[in-house]
Amino acid sequence: MRRLLRRARLREVYEVRRALEVEAARLAAGRIRPEDIGRLRDHLALREERAGGDPSAFVDADLAFHRTVVELSGNAVLLGLFTSVLPVLREALVEMVSHEPALPDVSCAHADLLDGLARGDADAAIAATVSHLEAVMELFASDTRAYESESDTSEKEVAAP
């Protein structure tokens, strides 16, 4: 039950991430400057360096990359919204990285996002962001479907004469 509750919370966090980060990727692709690409590459390299190590350090590097994308969107309100959810997001991600053994590897999606931004290709940046977030969200969705299926079976068993 604890795992199911953790995953339900993570699903909600990822729904918020999708709402904010997809738009941030779209906007950033049209506003990014060549000098911004180096900053993103540095954040991505640090994220890759910290993968498989301390979950908090990895999450901090991951969020620095994503926060920079939101910052590069040039939308102060979007950045304010993202910044306001960072504490909840960080806590949920550290817990996820610490306790979820079957997390998909989304490193390629991060690299694709960087590539799309570098080319100024909003569609590619959006696709990479959606790919990254949906891969993790599918993990939670499959868990929820399994639980709902078990609940349906249990209810039918109880209702049977």
pLDDT in tens, 52-65: 899 999 999 999 99
Classify domain 2-159 at the CATH superfamily level: GntR ligand-binding domain-like (1.20.120.530)
Give the lowest-confidence range in 10-19, 25-34, 35-44, 117-126: 10-19
Domain boundaries, the chain: 2-159
* Token output for 15: 């729904």
* Token output for 135: 């891969």
Is residue 117 within 8 A of residue 26, CB to CB? The reply is no
Task: List CB contacts of 58: < 8 A, sequence separation 6 or more.
Answer: 47, 50, 51, 52, 97
Rounded Cα gap, residues 20 and 106, in angstroms: 18
- pLDDT of residue 156 exceeding 80, the answer is no
pLDDT given at position 143: 56
Q: What rounded mean pLDDT belongs to the chain? A: 87
> Whose CA is closest to 97, among 64, 56, 129?
56
pLDDT given at position 142: 66
* Token output for 80: 């304010």
Which ranges in the chain belong to alpha helices (H)?
A: 2-31, 34-50, 55-72, 76-99, 107-119, 122-159
Does this model's pTM top 0.95? My answer is: no
pLDDT given at position 160: 35
